[in-house]
Amino acid sequence: MPTPPTFETSAGGLVVRVEHGQAQVALIGRARRGGRLRWSMPKGHVEAGETLEQTAVREVREETGIIGRIVAPLGSFTYTFTAEGRRIRKRVHHYLLRAVAGELSDDDVEVTAVKWVPVAELPRVLAFPAERRIARRAEALLAGDG
């Protein structure tokens, strides 16, 4: 009989800045086998006593170096994966944040690289389909359509 999955909750999001009239978001890259980078949104586990929003702000800061202020929720998705022989079912909540301070940095040990990406390029750059759906919601909000 299979072991039931462990449930986890994470939060993160897209932190946006406007540079030369163009909206850009900070993404994190993690190295895969062969050294190829897989680009995704910063996110991480909710710590004891934290709200989802506090987690999103903290994780964005830890993984990108950028301090953001939450503008709006972008939605959530659930996925299942295996780590260290355990099945994990994770729910990830995403928020749109405005960059208010900080410098882009890949100092976090979990992150290989960070970069600013124009919002219009997110569908091509983001590795995961669920994150691409979240990015489309962010783009609509930033365009005033959401």
- Measured in degrees and rounded to the nearest 5, phi and psi for residue 135 equal -65, -35
Query: What domains can be seen in the chain, in order of their start residue?
Result: 6-143 (3.90.79.10)
Confidence at 83, pLDDT banded by 50, 70, 90: confident
Q: Give 87-117 pLDDT, tens digit per residue.
A: 999 999 999 999 999 999 988 888 999 999 9
Q: What is the mean pLDDT of the chain?
A: 93
Q: Centre a 10 Å sphere on the Cβ of residue 120 and count the other Cβ atoms it contains.
A: 12
Q: What is the pLDDT of residues 42-59, one digit of tens each?
A: 999 999 999 999 999 999
In terms of Cα–Cα distance, which of 13, 25, 39 is closest to 120? 25
Residue 86, beta-bridge partner list: 83
| pLDDT classification of 145: cutoffs 50, 70, 90 | low
